Structure formats: structure tokens, C-alpha cells
Structure 1
């Protein structure tokens, strides 16, 4: 992948104020940069580059079983999965192989459908 950001990586918000930005909903399979702000029993709490709060479910954090979770403060490239029904929090995937596959694809939906988690060594 080249060093420039794709249009799917750009944050989407309108206007600028000293208060919280007016955030527009991201689309499924958009790429977004997130910072880990906490660990909870079900996964990671994150904040997007433009201040949107959300989470990564535990099954979408790493490629391998038992791999350590990213530390609080670590920045991640993520893929938008949608929004939680309650609280309107953004849901993202941070699984490295999934993020890489979608970042390299022209059609995120097709890449998501074709993606398979890497096989685990026995």
C-alpha cells in the first residue's frame, strides 16, 4: 500500500468548533484510525481520530488466540462494522489481517466477504 491515505481513511465531520465536532455517521467498511482508551471484559474501548467513541469486540482484536490486546493509548487502524443500537457507539474491527485486506481492496464489501482469519498453528 502506498504512503497516502485512501478516501475511505479520511475522517468525516463537518464544521469546526471548540466543542465536540459534529460527527457524521461513517459507512460500513470505512477505514478509521482509533486510539485505545480502555479495556473491558468484552473488548476494547476506542476513540476515533475525530472524537467518536466506540468499541472493538474481543473477537475482532487480534489474529491469534491468546495474543495480547493493544495497550491503552495505542493507535490502531480499524474497519467500521457499524453502530451499536444502544448509545450510538461506533463498532470497529482491529484484526490486523482483516484491516489489511480491506485497506488493499477497491471493494470493501467484497473483500470482507472473501476474508478468512489466518489459520492457527497447531
Structure 2
């Protein structure tokens, strides 16, 4: 799936009142097959960005396009079908800081490892030090 954000602004779904936008004029392009990591401090807008990309939140400004189309012009049933193809899993309960980044980073290697190495890494992760250096 090709994803394009053009000067998107949005507030976190739980923001109240006149809270500032978590994302301001963000432009981003991700082409099919690319792997992207979203890393940043608390309050940087990571969750808001993921809500935008999963079509769980409409941008207050700018445009989101998935495969060249605006998902927000779809009828309700079409938007629900599209959301069924996307996935957003909230972190409940919150993970310790080290587990928030390192395991997903290591998971990016799974398609390039043998089946046995992939299963083994679920119980005994390897190359944690290398992953931490990459950060």
C-alpha cells in the first residue's frame, strides 16, 4: 500500500479543549514494501500519526492518501472495509521502554531468517546489543 500525507495536522484523539495539534503540517510518503519505524519521546505525536495512518482519525488539515485515494470520501461501509485491511494495536498495558522499540526492530529481520530462527527468537531474542546500537 502506498501512503502519502501532505501537510497533515491532527490532535490526539483524547486531547481536550484547545490542546495544540500533536502533528503539524507533516508530509510523509511510504511506498509499498517499505518498512518504517516511528520512534520519538512521549508526546511527540507517534500515536496520533498511527491513528491517521489507520484511518481512525481524520486530519484537521492537509490530505491523507492511501494508494492515491482519499479514504475520507468513501461511504461508511467502504471506510469500514478499508479499516479492516489496516491494523492498529494499542499498547495495553504499556510496555517497558526497552520493549517498545527493540523487539519490533528485531522483528524486521524475521522475513530474512529461517523458520526455526524466527520461532527461536520469540523466546530467546538475539542481537539485542546490535539493535540498541542501531537506535
Q: Where on the TM-score scale, by shorter chain, does this alignment land: which range? A: under 0.3
Answer 1 or 2: which has greater helix percent: 2
TM-score, normalised to structure 2, is: 0.25
- TM-score after normalising by structure 1: 0.26
More strand by share: 1
